[in-house]
Structure 1
Amino acid sequence: MSPAIITLLILLLATILFLTGVIPVALTALLATMLLYLTGIIDAETVFSGLTNNVVLLISGMFIIGAALFETGVARRMGNLITRFAKTEKQLLFAVMVIGAGLSAFLSNTSTTAVMMPIVIAIAASSGFSSSKLLMPLAYATALGGMITLVGTNGNLAVQSVMENENTPVFGFFEFAYIGIPLTIIGIIYMMTIGYKLIPNRETALEEADTKNEEEATSEEATWKQMVAIGVLLAAVVFMIFEEQFGIPLHIVSVMGAMVIVLTRTMSEKKAYRSLDFSTIILVAAMMPMATALAETGAAQMIADYVLEMAGSNAGPYVITALIFGVTTVLTSVMSNTAAAALMAPIGLVIAASMGVDPKAILMTVCVGASAAYASPVGTPPNTMIYGPGNYTFLDYIKCGFPFLVIQLIVCVVIVPLIWPF
């Protein structure tokens, strides 16, 4: 049995376990990684390589920064300020999605979610709403906002890089907005109507704990600690926006911010450790070797080739566009959007050349599909980050995400050829 087939079988097993919830999701991810090692697909160094991945370090640091906002009472004050203008749950949902999409157009999806998640939870707690109703819209908003600019998501940059290497005319910085803005508007409308009914309304343990922490913070924490917490958060946002200018990677900024929180005693070391959601961290880290295995064994390429071969050489450009969107979406649900985009972009160029059409329409479809990981908690770090705090299940993502995937597919097939004719 080839390594690619073994990898696909392990992926299938992990998917079944994720769906059924027989064992916790973090353990499922670890099981898949261990099976990859025991079958010789990955080596011992790769098994736990995800624990030192930049995304995992970024998430870990931001968990501590976010917890400091709760401990000092800052998050409660932010929540009260926003709720002065947004009184109902749907108004809050709208505000969260607009702000999330706006930030994500220029920040990474992960950092946007990391910055906003504690604030959203605080808003939910202070307003008496369920955080599960707001966190999934936040993750969707960051994915949608990432489609608006070239730097909104690494998937866009990966496709742009392939186009440059092949001497193909590249996309402009805001050219993505032609499809990104309509999709963002449609996404907000969807989440406020159909999606709102599909999102579970669950009370989480976090909400109960946060309320208690905020009450303690109000009476005990000094004002200067609140200033430190706000200062660290604002500094993190500034450094994330101007990452290239400062030359400091996002994960370093996150860890340094967490260190400042502890060193200034804004939050104790023990509370900092307790603020880390190890289930989320393990889930993100343990699924990274799977992405490596899919790419290195050729399993991901096998999926792409098989589906496109089924379409046949006589398939029209609209059919091919729909298939490329579908294949890219499947891949980005189990591997990073950057890897999925980098894999599908060369295939898109070859298909465009063989059909004698402008490759921009197909490549833009790759960009959109690579960001459409709505139906899986392991598709993107933001989806995974909200999994525990929102008390979601794997099926929650499918119920809410799959209908939107269908809508996005239709919008993509209709709008992309109008803006970038074949």
Structure 2
Amino acid sequence: MDSAVITLLVLATVAFLFVTEYIPIAVSALMASVSLGLLGILTPQECFSGFSNSNVILFGGMFVVGAAMLDSGLAQSIGNFVVRNVGTNQGPLILSLMTLTIVMSAFASNTGTVACLMPMVIGVCVSAKIPSAPILMALAVSANVGCMLTMVGTPPNMLAVAEITANGYESYGFFEFSYIGLPICLSAVAFMYFVGRRILPQKSADGGIIMQSKGVVGSRRQRILAVCILIFVILGLIVGIPGLSPAMVSLIAALLCVVTGCISEKQAYKGIDWVTIFLFAGMLPVATAMQKTGAGELIANTVVSVVGEHPSDISIIAALFLISCSLTQFMPNTATAALLIPIAMSIANKLGVSPYGVLITCAIGASCSFATPIATPCNTLILSPSGMHFKDYLKVGLPLIVISLILCMLIIPVAWPFIKI
């Protein structure tokens, strides 16, 4: 059997297991990578390459920092401050949080933004005694859409810029992505405020986290240390520190938490969400197999061929968006964009149309990572603390994808006309 077909069968199987949760999702993810190794699709080194991925290191470090914020009482103090100024009503909290997150993720890593804000959000929910699941989902959604606003907001946008300039065209403007990104952001905020928060389970933060935050007051010294470490993390993840990658910043911060006595070694180990670590590390090799075997390209070419030789602008947008968006639910958005954007350029050249709208469609589709907990690190980070399941992501993700698709079909042909060249 062809290696691409085998990879697609493994992907379909793991997708089924994710949806049904007959097997814990972290175990399913690890089974997928190991299966691809046993079937000869991946080498042993590739099977376990996810554990050396920088995002996995970032996750681990930030879990320790989050535990330090909770155990020191810092997150609880911040939560009390926010509650005093915003109130305990879930609606205003969602609006204020999503606005802040969108602005931050437009210029910085959306993963870093969620990693920095998540412990504070849990503190807010504990202080206000409100369900954390809708608030945390709003955090992830706003981080995913906020990165669509600028050229540097997310790797898919940067890949589109690189592809367009490599083919001799003038680059996109820095805020040009906002033509489509801003309407999607506004729609996402409105959806979460009016609909999303009502259809999600009204669950509180993870029981272990709540017990830590309630049972441990922490000392003033610990809170001061936690603030200093948090400032270092914000500078490193949001602003950037020369010579230090986000993963290095996260790891250094975690080490400082233990070395300075802000948190004990035992508390640091307990603070790490190992389900998230194994889930993400297990799925990264599957993305490698998708690229290596051509399975992703097979999907793309098959779906694009359906639109025919003389498709309308809307047909092209719908086809490319659906391909890109479907793949990004199970592959990192960077991998999805890297796979599809060159194909999109080839399609534009074959049809003889301007490539700007074609590439934008792929980039935006790759960033619409709403429907699964492994679609983006932002989604994965909130999985365990929120207590949500795979189906909860579908409840919010599928409507947001439909809204984004409609907006793309309405706006992209106007902002970037598919003129013949």
> How far 1:168 sits from its partner (Å)?
2.4
| Higher mean C-alpha displacement, 351-360 vs 269-278 | 351-360
* Equivalent position SS for 2:203: coil
> How far 1:325 sits from its partner (Å)?
0.5
Task: Work out the CA distance in 2 between the residues paired with 1:345 and 1:124.
Answer: 40
| Higher mean C-alpha displacement, 292-301 vs 313-322 | 313-322
Name the structure 1 match of 2:125: 124
Aligned ranges 1:18-97 → 2 under 5 Å: 18-87=18-87, 88-97=89-98
AA matched with 2:91? K
Alignment pair present for 1:387 and 2:383: yes
| Contact kept in structure 2, 1:101 and 1:142, CA below 8 Å | yes
Alignment pair present for 1:326 and 2:325: no
Name the structure 2 match of 1:418: 414
| Contact kept in structure 1, 2:151 and 2:175, CA below 8 Å | yes
TM-score (norm 1): 0.96
AA matched with 2:10? I
Name the structure 2 match of 1:282: 278
Task: Work out the CA distance in 2 between the residues paired with 1:200 and 1:213.
Answer: 22
1:195 to 1:215, Cα distance in 2 relative to 1, 3 A: closer
> How far 1:334 sits from its partner (Å)?
1.2
Task: Work out the CA distance in 1 between the residues paired with 2:56 and 2:170.
Answer: 35
| Contact kept in structure 1, 2:126 and 2:205, CA below 8 Å | no
AA matched with 1:262? V
> How far 1:161 sits from its partner (Å)?
1.8
Name the structure 1 match of 2:14: 14
> How far 1:153 sits from its partner (Å)?
0.9
Task: Work out the CA distance in 1 between the residues paired with 2:375 and 2:403.
Answer: 18
1:389-418 deviation per Cα after TM superposition (whole angstroms, max 9, x unaligned): 111111111111101110110011111122
| Contact kept in structure 1, 2:164 and 2:356, CA below 8 Å | no
AA matched with 1:303? I
1:211 to 1:336, Cα distance in 2 relative to 1, 3 A: closer
Name the structure 2 match of 1:401: 397
TM-score (norm 2): 0.96
Aligned ranges 1:198-213 → 2 under 5 Å: 198-206=199-207, 209-213=208-212
What is the RMSD computed on CA atoms of the aligned residues? 1.3
1:378 to 374, 392, 396: 374
| Contact kept in structure 1, 2:94 and 2:193, CA below 8 Å | yes
Task: Work out the CA distance in 2 between the residues paired with 1:394 and 1:213.
Answer: 26
AA matched with 1:227? I
Task: Work out the CA distance in 2 between the residues paired with 1:174 and 1:281.
Answer: 34
Name the structure 2 match of 1:232: 229
AA matched with 1:120? V
> How far 1:215 sits from its partner (Å)?
4.3
1:207-261 deviation per Cα after TM superposition (whole angstroms, max 9, x unaligned): xx4444334443xx32122111111111111122333x61311000000011111
AA matched with 1:356? G
* Equivalent position SS for 1:58: helix
Task: Work out the CA distance in 2 between the residues paired with 1:120 and 1:210.
Answer: 12
Task: Work out the CA distance in 2 between the residues paired with 1:329 and 1:22.
Answer: 25
1:233 to 1:176, Cα distance in 2 relative to 1, 3 A: same
| Contact kept in structure 1, 2:135 and 2:197, CA below 8 Å | no
| Contact kept in structure 2, 1:104 and 1:145, CA below 8 Å | yes
Any stretches of 5+ residues in structure 2 without a counterpart? none
Name the structure 2 match of 1:140: 141
| Contact kept in structure 2, 1:122 and 1:210, CA below 8 Å | no
* Equivalent position SS for 2:306: helix
> How far 1:133 sits from its partner (Å)?
1.4
| Contact kept in structure 1, 2:113 and 2:238, CA below 8 Å | no
Aligned ranges 1:188-199 → 2 under 5 Å: 188-199=189-200
AA matched with 1:323? A
Task: Work out the CA distance in 1 between the residues paired with 2:301 and 2:186.
Answer: 33
Alignment pair present for 1:357 and 2:357: no
Any stretches of 5+ residues in structure 1 without a counterpart? none
> How far 1:356 sits from its partner (Å)?
2.3
Task: Work out the CA distance in 2 between the residues paired with 1:272 and 1:85.
Answer: 31
Q: Count residues with an aligned counterpart.
A: 417
* Equivalent position SS for 1:200: coil
AA matched with 2:15? T
* Equivalent position SS for 1:193: helix
1:266 to 262, 267, 271: 262
| Higher mean C-alpha displacement, 288-297 vs 43-52 | 43-52
| Contact kept in structure 2, 1:162 and 1:342, CA below 8 Å | no
* Equivalent position SS for 1:246: coil
